[in-house]
Amino acid sequence: MATLTIRDALNQALREEIIRDENVFVMGEEVAEYDGAYKVTRGLWKEFGDKRVVDTPITELGFAAVGVGAAMAGLRPVIEFMTWNFSILAADQIINHAAKMLYMSGGQFKMPIVFRGPNGSAYQVSSQHSQALEAFYANFPGLKVVMPSTSADAKGLLKSAIRDDNPVMFLEQERMYGLKGEVPEDEDFTIPLGVADIKREGTDCTIVARSMTVPLALQAADKIKEELDVSVEVIDPRTIKPLDIDTIVNSVKKTNRLVIAEESHYFASVGAEISHTVMEHAFDYLDAPVKRISTAEAPNPYAKNLEALALPDVDKIIAAVKEVCYL
């Protein structure tokens, strides 16, 4: 095991896959000579050159389209968005082309493409640069959506995403790039898409968290255990689509209570989807209505104090757990 930041774990995954498969290449704004806006692609251009690591102009729709065409031609592009906020410019290529290609070509064209970059809030980058877009993309059939929360998950899932023959939205989190964790050194280490991970076992309440809310949920679980002796289970679905609902339902059947913590807005969120599906499969096991912690229903504020109030935090998660446990 090596201890790596999520940034370096992603870098390792890209490097190993570029070496492993000559069809893999990385493309995006500043990914080559500048080593990436968040340094995820550090050293790759120097090592592999212009053909495998390609800088683009500020033209999201254009380079997304080049990626889609390359994937149709049999390459395996990894397209970096400087943040997922800019992917909205490329949404036509992602939703209308990448997501539909296999279906509308009657299976003639596969779409082995990965779109990746940071998603959600950063530090005071205001409304247009703080959006969590997983629910938006998860709504469309044909797209897979992945959101890692640890270094090992980041590496193992990115390698699986690159090897997958379908378009995969790979949503990282800027605040988490520096988080360290142990990563297996085996070059063939992958984590299959669609498998949730129980980050912490517990008996009294389940928290389903993803991306940035996973470390928050784990801190909340520790505090609740210490202060109230309530045992919380934390589940990270890791892949939003396809969703490993069985792991969540089995946990709720054990704990009877569910809190969902997410960074996206509340309305029509992935948390709403999980809540509904749990109600379908485990209605008779619930002891309390499912509780969701999401980002406030407002454009994300720039002001530091307001931004802190808008986002999920440890105290909000603890309050939700207490509510569903009737404490």
Partner 1 sequence: MPKLSPTMEEGQISRWVKNEGDAFEANETLAEVDTDKATMEMTALSGGTLLKILKGAGDTAALGEAIAIIGKAGEDISALLSEASSNGKKETAAATKPAGEKASEPKAQPVSTDGAAVATAPEPKPTPTPVQPSEGGRMIVSPIAARMAADNGVDLRSISGSGPNGRVIKRDIEEALAGGAKPAVAKAFTPSTIVGASPFRDESTSKMRQVIAGRLAESIGPIPTFYLTVEIEMDNLFATRKQINANLDDDAKISVNDIIVKAAAMSLLKHPWVNASYQDKTVRFYEQADIGVAVAIDEGLITPVVRGANLKGLAEISGEIKDLAAKAKAKKLQPEEYTGATFSISNLGMMGIKEFTAIINPPEAAIIAIGGANPTPVVRDGQITVRSIMNVTMSCDHRAIDGATGARFLQTFKQMLESPAMMLL
Residue 256 makes contact with partner 1 by CB under 8 A: yes
* Beta bridge mates, 207: 234, 259
List of residues 6+ apart from 222 with CB closer than 8 A: none
Active-site pick, 17, 29, 80, 129 = 129
Binding of residue 287 to partner 1 (CB under 8 A): yes
Which range in 26-34, 94-102, 121-129, 282-290 contacts partner 1 by CB under 8 A? Answer: 282-290
CA separation, residue 163 to residues 16, 91, 112 (Å) = 12, 22, 7
Q: Which is nearer to partner 1, 226 or 284 (CB)?
A: 284
- Check if the beta carbon of residue 274 is closer than 8 Å to that of residue 172: no
226 is catalytic: no
Backbone angles phi, psi at 83, to 5 degrees: -145, 160
| 229 sits near partner 1 (criterion: CB under 8 A) | no
Q: Does 288 bind partner 1 (CB under 8 A)?
A: yes
Crossing angle for the helix pair 314-324 and 213-228, to the nearest 10 degrees: 60
Query: Is 326 among the residues that bind partner 1 (CB under 8 A)?
Result: yes
281 in active site: no
Beta carbon of residue 207, minimum distance to partner 1 (angstroms, whole number): 18
Residue 214 or 290: the one with the smaller Cβ distance to partner 1 is 290
Of the two residues 129 and 257, which places its CB atom closer to partner 1 in the complex?
Answer: 257
286 scored as a contact of partner 1 (CB under 8 A): yes
CB of 127 to partner 1, least distance (A): 35
- The number of residues that bind partner 1 (CB under 8 A) is 8
Choose the stretch contacting partner 1; rule: CB under 8 A; options: 14-22, 102-110, 221-229, 281-289.
281-289
Q: Which residues are catalytic?
A: 60, 129
User: Which residues sit at the interface with partner 1, rule CB under 8 A?
Assistant: 256, 283-288, 326
